[in-house]
Amino acid sequence: MFEILNQDTFFRLAQGLKVTLELSFISVLISLVGGVFFGILMHSKNKFLYAFCRFMLEFVRIMPLIVWLFVVHFGLAKWFGWHLSALGSSVIVFSIWGVFEMMDLVRSSLASIPKHQYESGLSLGFNKFEVYLFIIIPLSLRRLLPMSINLFTRIIKSTSVIYLIGGIELIKVGQQVIELNLFQNSYTAFVIYGLILLIYFVLCYPLSVYSKFLEKKWS
């Protein structure tokens, strides 16, 4: 039953895992930078900017990610003739999705800081920059960090859907391994899919434990 767990299989799965990890890493990085930028914009007092950000957030949130992947992957090819690879279109979709989700988290953590924190900072003689540097940013980081780690685990989990637009990642590689070994071993699908489940679990579980730990420590 377990004889397919040889070096070849692990090597192939590791290749698939590399794609999954690369994709998640790039998307997380972009959404981190973009999310902080847009979050600060959204927190600013400008009503027009707020409405724009809010609209984009709802717009991105209301559709399943797969629909966005379809729209980007097949739509861009049809409308502009950009034949992106599956990975290219998924980087675009995941980054946009991540940026706007992250934006909301940044906004809510900034908004959660009571107003008297600003005021007491100012009354202690800090200037505006120092208030942000020493009071607002550390305080909001404590709320932001656990939530954003949760978002990152969601991004890692969601990368599995690029299988549907033909991306060669962990699951696709797993299927190739299964097809190769189907006739020698009748429990192949069970072992390989179980292994992939475990791999995702190993990737995401430490992150979610860490975010729970931070939440408890800082609440």
Q: Which residue number, 25 or 190, has a Cβ lying nearer to other proteins?
A: 190
Q: Does the protein bind other proteins through residue 37 (CB under 8 A)? A: no
Q: Does the protein bind other proteins through residue 115 (CB under 8 A)? A: no
Mark the segment that binds other proteins (CB under 8 A) among 37-45, 49-57, 92-100, 194-202. 194-202
Among the listed residues 18, 83, 128, 157, the single contact to other proteins using CB under 8 A:
157
Q: Which residue number, 65 or 106, has a Cβ lying nearer to other proteins?
A: 65
Among the listed residues 10, 201, 213, 218, the single contact to other proteins using CB under 8 A:
201
Mark the segment that binds other proteins (CB under 8 A) among 28-36, 96-104, 137-145, 186-194. 186-194
User: Buried b / exposed e across 135-172, counting CB within 10 Å, b at 16+?
Assistant: bbeebbeebbbbbbbbbbbbbbebbbbbbebebbbbbb
Q: Does the protein bind other proteins through residue 66 (CB under 8 A)? A: yes
Q: Please write down the HEC assignment for all residues of the chain.
A: CCCCCCHHHHHHHHHHHHHHHHHHHHHHHHHHHHHHHHHHHHHCCCHHHHHHHHHHHHHHHHCCHHHHHHHHHHHHHHHHCCCCCHHHHHHHHHHHHHHHHHHHHHHHHHHCCCHHHHHHHHHCCCCHHHHHHHHHHHHHHHHHHHHHHHHHHHHHHHHHHHHHHCCCCHHHHHHHHHHHHCCCCCCHHHHHHHHHHHHHHHHHHHHHHHHHHHHHHHC
Q: How far is the CB of 65 from other proteins (least distance, A)?
A: 8
What mask, x for binding other proteins by CB under 8 A, covers residues 69 to 108?
A: -xx--xx-xxx-----------------------------
Q: Which residue number, 176 or 208, has a Cβ lying nearer to other proteins?
A: 208
Binding site for other proteins (CB under 8 A): 62-67, 70-71, 74-75, 77-79, 153, 157-158, 160-161, 163-164, 171, 178, 186-187, 189-190, 193-194, 196-197, 200-201, 203-205, 208
